[in-house]
Amino acid sequence: MAEIGKRILRSLRTLFWILVIAGAVGFLGYRVVAAPPKPEPPKSVAAIRAEKGIPVVAHTIEAGPWNLWKRYYGQVKSASEQSVTSFLREYIVAVHVHVGDLVKAGDVLLELSRETSTPDFAARSAEYEEAKRDYERLKALYDAGGTSRAEVDRAAVAMQQKGSALKETRTQLARTKVASKLTGVVSLRNAEVGEISETGRELLRVVDLRNLEADVLIPPGDVARVAKGTPARVVLEGRRHNGTVKRVDPGADVATGLYRVVVALPPDTNLRPGMFVETELLVDPRTSVVSVPYEALRRDNGRTYVYVLSGDVARLRDVEVGEGQGGLVEVVSRLYEGETIVVRGVENLYDGARVWLRSSAPEEASPDVPVPDGGGKDSFGESSAEEPVSADTSNP
């Protein structure tokens, strides 16, 4: 009986371990078969782009007007001005104007002393009257046969000499009152009452603000593109004033090697002589030029190229470019009207890259597509998960 009990106990132990092992295997099998699978990691933006191509914004080439303005610097001046100087060395007894005063042609600006001129005028008047009486007396004697013709002629010459001296003195007396020769504004005053007006010294300056011009210096490479009548714009503090080229100096400045261009300005500006201004000249007006946005161009090792779309493929093409303005660059060769190029997304492209066109307007990222850190925007601020659109280049 004892032996039978031992066999039964061993059988129970064996059955127990069989049940334990079977339970463990069943539990593991349940976890493997019945448990939900582990989610796959989200696709990266690079992977999504690899599937459907690189997002780009396209631009269809059109030939249009091309007005190239080049900017230079210049200084405003008056085309008409009067520098008031004195012909006499006299005391200044009155100055009737100040800087900024408006004057009319003929207005007296200042007066000089007559201490020298008045006595001279009186003496010259007396001498002339005496010479005139001598001439009249001798002429009467000649008519009566009492003197020779030579005596009369000598008296006539003396009278003319005294008359010329009197006229000169009268002119000097008139110069003691200095008047304006033009209508304008007093821009300089270098005279005060009591001072002596040295001969040739500039006492006042009057400028005509209705007749302004700008002196502009341009390099030799541009002088052939500018001529009389070329449209010009003068810019000061954001305000533009239209003008035209009045003349171009034929020779360059010896010191700078630059050519002087004079631009005539309209009379209704707020400009004043002496102001430094930016001046724009229309150096290249044409009616039909192929141009592209600057951001469409790529440069590498002396090459300049763009990406031209052929269906949904971007092809690299070398181009020759000219000058640029306003965010556009002239394309001189190897790009034609009607072709479509990539203007945004260029930095991600290579020759033969597959692309899809997207709107240039930014849109929100789709919540159904995983995005990388930083908001899931590509370099243009637009969601990388945007659905591809047709690569029809006729409507980029």
Tokens of 228: 């009389």
Domain 83-207: which CATH class? mainly beta
Predicted local confidence at residue 198, as pLDDT:
81
Residue 386 and residue 378 in contact, taking contact as beta carbons nearer than 8 Å: no
Fold of 39-61+297-396: 2.40.420
The reply to whether 71-79+211-286 and 83-207 are identical in fold is: no
Name the CA dihedral angle for 115, 121, 127, 131, rounded to a multiple of 10 degrees.
170
Predicted local confidence at residue 382, as pLDDT:
35
Write the DSSP symbol of residue 167: H
Q: What is the mean pLDDT of residues 117-132?
A: 73
Predicted local confidence at residue 90, as pLDDT:
80
- Burial classification of residue 82, based on how many CB atoms lie within 10 Å of its CB (0-12 exposed, 13-18 middle, 19 or more buried): buried
The confidence band for 209, taking pLDDT boundaries of 50, 70 and 90, is: confident
DSSP letters for 289-344: EEEEEGGG-EEETTEEEEEEEETTEEEEEE-EEEEEETTEEEEEES--TT-EEEEE
Instruction: Report the C-alpha gap between 204 and 223 in whole angstroms.
Output: 36
Helix axes 149-174, 117-144, angle to 10 degrees: 160
Kindly list the distances between the CA atom of residue 247 and the CA atoms of 50, 253, 332, 357, in Å, as whole numbers in the listed order. Answer: 62, 15, 31, 52
Predicted local confidence at residue 342, as pLDDT:
96
Half-sphere exposure of 206 (CA within 13 A, CB side): 22
Q: Does domain 71-79+211-286 have CATH number 2.60.40.3140?
A: no
Strand-pair category, 298-300 with 81-85: unpaired
The confidence band for 236, taking pLDDT boundaries of 50, 70 and 90, is: confident
Instruction: Report the C-alpha gap between 164 and 195 in whole angstroms.
Output: 31
User: For the whole model, what pTM was predicted?
Assistant: 0.58
Instruction: Report the C-alpha gap between 219 and 223 in whole angstroms.
Output: 7
- Is 151 or 366 the better-scoring residue by pLDDT? 151
Predicted local confidence at residue 30, as pLDDT:
63
Instruction: Report the C-alpha gap between 52 and 354 in whole angstroms.
Output: 8
Q: Which stretch of 22-31, 36-45, 136-145, 216-225 has the lowest confidence by average pLDDT?
A: 36-45
**Tens-digit pLDDT profile for residues 129-187:** 888 888 888 888 888 877 788 888 888 888 888 778 777 766 666 667 888 989 889 99
β-sheet with 177-179: strand ranges across:
177-179, 108-112, 90-95, 196-197
DSSP letters for 87-149: SS-EEEEEE---TT-EE-TT-EEEEE--TTHHHHHHHHHHHHHHHHHHHHHHHHHHHHTSS-H
Predicted local confidence at residue 135, as pLDDT:
81
The confidence band for 20, taking pLDDT boundaries of 50, 70 and 90, is: low
Predicted local confidence at residue 220, as pLDDT:
95
Predicted local confidence at residue 223, as pLDDT:
94
Q: Is the pLDDT of residue 235 over 50?
A: yes
- The domain locations on the chain are 39-61+297-396, 71-79+211-286, 83-207
**Tens-digit pLDDT profile for residues 60-115:** 999 999 999 999 999 999 998 999 887 777 888 899 999 989 999 989 999 888 76
In the chain, the percentage of residues whose pLDDT exceeds 70 is 78
- Is 27 or 322 the better-scoring residue by pLDDT? 322
Mean pLDDT, all residues of the chain: 80
The confidence band for 366, taking pLDDT boundaries of 50, 70 and 90, is: very low
Instruction: Report the C-alpha gap between 230 and 248 in whole angstroms.
Output: 10
Write the DSSP symbol of residue 238: T
